[in-house]
């Protein structure tokens, strides 16, 4: 059977609508792997349909990733039909988010209601480690759906650059920061006047020169608190609507991104440290000054930050920290410093981690088919 795709609402992002026809296949599976990412300049505050109030940039990670296998089978019933499994166990708590994702992306993948899907997903990092699985999870699912679309269009299996862009566009509609996980090693999301090709609709690979100091950058994630976050990112983003410092914050983030361009080019590690740490603390300052206010850092988050500052002062190291919307600390450092910093982490920082746990990661290349 063939579905012809109609002209859609011109207000939507038309270039991602499919203009050719699909040939629906009976059943099959596709599998993808997609990593998490860590923002250097943070996205916090959105408008419209998952559009960012400021531009952000992140390192794509490598070891923290999600593998997803999407099984599809033709159906005749109405509506979306899918089941979600995490490590082979049915996970109904993920369903509302995926239902919403399907509703948002249906205009761009009009075959979704033709299939019953089983979404089988595994994370390389421990479940409820406090590491956001939404970036890797949503980008892995978006890649699987693009791989399926390719099949239904009779296109080659491999994902072209244009199709990666569509995957990023779709991933954004699942979870904003997920759009930065499709590509690597440095990805920008959000229109920025100094970054060519940057877009609010999708993540784009950072287009300028990056000094070797930043190649293979290391990120050790210290698991300070593995519990469920008290305030979700969705709630946090929404609190930026009425936030007294919102406009200054969006401006600051865009300025930080402008300042990062020469820093990345020249390999200026000390300027990098200053921008990255200021960004992390500014993100959390927004939480501290929201109405209602909230604190996601824990006492051990602050202990770790202070130890990093002391170590830097004593040794002249370029190690620095950043934070996501949670208590865990991402310890960033150049590959050259791996030995000294790993030693420092093991002897001085792991005692502040829940059960002494941490994950060693480094920048990666993004999502791919398995």
List contacts with ligand PMV (CB under 6 A).
Answer: 39, 42-44, 56, 132, 134, 175-177, 233, 237, 283, 324-325
Closer CB to ligand PMV, 21 or 234, in the complex: 234
Closer CB to ligand PMV, 70 or 283, in the complex: 283
Q: State how far Cα 17 lies from the chain centre.
A: 23
Q: Minimum Å distance from CB 214 to ligand PMV?
A: 18
Q: Minimum Å distance from CB 112 to ligand PMV?
A: 22
Q: Minimum Å distance from CB 252 to ligand PMV?
A: 14
Using alpha carbons, list the distances in angstroms from residue 148 to 25, 39, 43, 80, 157.
10, 29, 30, 16, 9
Dist CA 157 CA 2 (whole Å): 20
Q: Minimum Å distance from CB 9 to ligand PMV?
A: 24
Using alpha carbons, list the distances in angstroms from residue 56 to 189, 276, 346.
5, 12, 31
Beta partners for residue 359, in sequence order: 221
* Secondary structure string (H, E, C) spanning 22-48: EECCCEEEEEEEEEEEEEEECCCCEEC
Calculate the CA dihedral of residues 56, 229, 234, 292 and round it to 10 degrees: -100
Dist CA 44 CA 177 (whole Å): 10
Q: Minimum Å distance from CB 61 to ligand PMV?
A: 12
Closer CB to ligand PMV, 205 or 338, in the complex: 205
Q: Minimum Å distance from CB 245 to ligand PMV?
A: 16
Closer CB to ligand PMV, 147 or 173, in the complex: 173
Answer for the pair 189, 317: CB distance below 8 angstroms, yes or no.
no
Closer CB to ligand PMV, 39 or 148, in the complex: 39
Q: Minimum Å distance from CB 169 to ligand PMV?
A: 14
Closer CB to ligand PMV, 150 or 220, in the complex: 220
Closer CB to ligand PMV, 132 or 144, in the complex: 132
- The secondary structure element, H or E, covering residue 248 is helix 246-266
């Amino acid at each position: 059977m063939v579905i012809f795709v109609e002209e859609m609402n011109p207000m939507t992002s038309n270039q991602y609508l499919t203009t050719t026809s699909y040939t629906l296949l009976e059943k099959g599976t596709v599998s993808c792997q997609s990593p998490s990412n860590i923002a250097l300049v943070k996205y916090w505050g959105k408008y419209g349909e998952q559009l960012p109030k400021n531009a952000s940039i992140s390192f794509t990670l490598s070891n923290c990733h999600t593998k997803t296998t999407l099984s599809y089978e033709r159906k005749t019933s109405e509506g979306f039909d899918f089941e979600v499994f995490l490590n082979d166990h049915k996970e109904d708590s993920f369903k509302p988010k995926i239902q919403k994702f399907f509703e948002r992306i249906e205009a761009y993948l009009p075959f979704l209601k033709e299939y019953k899907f089983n979404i089988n997903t595994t994370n390389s990092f421990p479940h409820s480690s406090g590491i956001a699985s939404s970036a890797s999870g949503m980008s892995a699912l978006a890649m699987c759906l693009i791989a399926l679309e390719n099949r239904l269009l009779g296109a080659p299996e491999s994902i072209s650059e244009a199709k990666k862009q569509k995957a990023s566009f779709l991933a954004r509609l699942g979870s904003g920061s997920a759009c930065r996980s499709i590509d690597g090693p440095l990805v920008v999301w959000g229109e920025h006047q100094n970054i060519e090709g940057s877009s609010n609709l999708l993540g784009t690979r950072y287009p300028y020169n990056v000094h070797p100091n930043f190649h293979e950058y290391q990120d050790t994630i210290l698991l300070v608190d593995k519990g469920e976050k008290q305030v979700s990112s969705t709630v946090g983003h929404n609190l930026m609507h009425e936030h007294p410092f919102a406009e200054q914050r969006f401006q600051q983030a865009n300025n930080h991104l402008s300042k990062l361009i020469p820093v990345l080019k020249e390999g200026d590690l000390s300027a990098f440290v200053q921008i990255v740490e200021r960004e992390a603390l500014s993100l959390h300052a927004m939480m501290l000054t929201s109405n209602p206010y909230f604190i996601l850092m824990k006492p051990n988050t602050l202990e770790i930050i202070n130890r990093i500052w002391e170590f830097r002062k004593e040794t002249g190291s370029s190690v620095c920290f950043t934070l996501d919307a949670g208590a865990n600390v991402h310890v960033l450092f150049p590959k050259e410093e791996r030995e000294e910093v790993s030693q420092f982490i093991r002897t001085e920082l792991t005692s502040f981690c829940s059960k002494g746990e941490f994950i060693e990661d480094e920048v990666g290349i993004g999502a791919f088919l398995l």
